[in-house]
Amino acid sequence: MEAEHGASGHDRRESGPRPLTVDDLVRTPDDGRRYELVGGRIDASPVPVFQHTRTCSRLLAHLARAAPDGREVLHRPGIDFNADRTHHRIPDLAVIRAEDAESPYLTRPPLLAVEIVSPESVIRDDHTKRREYAEFGIVAYRIVNPAPDETGLVEFRLENGGYREVTQACGGEVFETDLPFPLRLVPRWLTADGPWKERIGGG
């Protein structure tokens, strides 16, 4: 697309391609991948492997059981980070206040965002999203590493505009937190075979 400038109408320039918005995401293929937007450009993640899916499912169930009234635990909610809707992220899990529920996408910061890392997402989750989530004002951010030998979890809290690591746990250690509600979690049982429902809370 071109635009004319000046009284003579002879000065012309070409504008670049317009930034994509969430409206354009409806045209992405339904292939199991996660399509997000950063600065109006597509940021696609591969289809999750079994270990990622198992971890996400178990953590979702455990969080949902612990959540009090007034808190909602969401699987892969779309979040618009700006009014132009050109920055759109989809955390693996999020916890929001019930009154912050919106359709079609969230626009207010969740109380908690959770990302489950995979080999190709380490930089995105531990650096890029960590910075973006802090700038957006998400109070707590957890990263889960579903390593088959020793699953680990780390929690960050927002402080002075950035995240500070507050606690972590690996394997059979008990992870405890009070934000956004009290929770006990043994990371091993996010991935291990066996009676995970009985043991994931560290009881």
pLDDT digits (tens, 9 = 90+) for 131-176: 999 999 999 999 999 997 899 999 999 999 999 999 999 999 999 9
d(C-alpha 116, C-alpha 134), whole Å: 17
Pairing of strands 112-116, 140-145: parallel
For the cut 80, the answer to whether the pLDDT of residue 9 exceeds it is no
Counting residues of the chain whose pLDDT is more than 90, the rounded percentage is: 84
Is residue 161 packed enough to be buried (19+ CB in 10 Å), middle (13-18) or exposed (0-12)?
Answer: exposed
Residue-averaged pLDDT of the chain:
91
Average pLDDT over residues 8-19: 59
Q: Residue 17: its pLDDT value, please?
A: 83
Sign of CA dihedral 72, 76, 82, 83: negative
Q: Residue 56: its pLDDT value, please?
A: 98
Pairing of strands 93-97, 88-89: unpaired
What structural domains and CATH numbers belong to the chain?
A: 49-199 (3.90.1570.10)
Number of H helices, E strands in the chain: 4, 14
First to last CA, the chain: 63
Q: Residue 94: its pLDDT value, please?
A: 98
For the cut 50, the answer to whether the pLDDT of residue 6 exceeds it is no
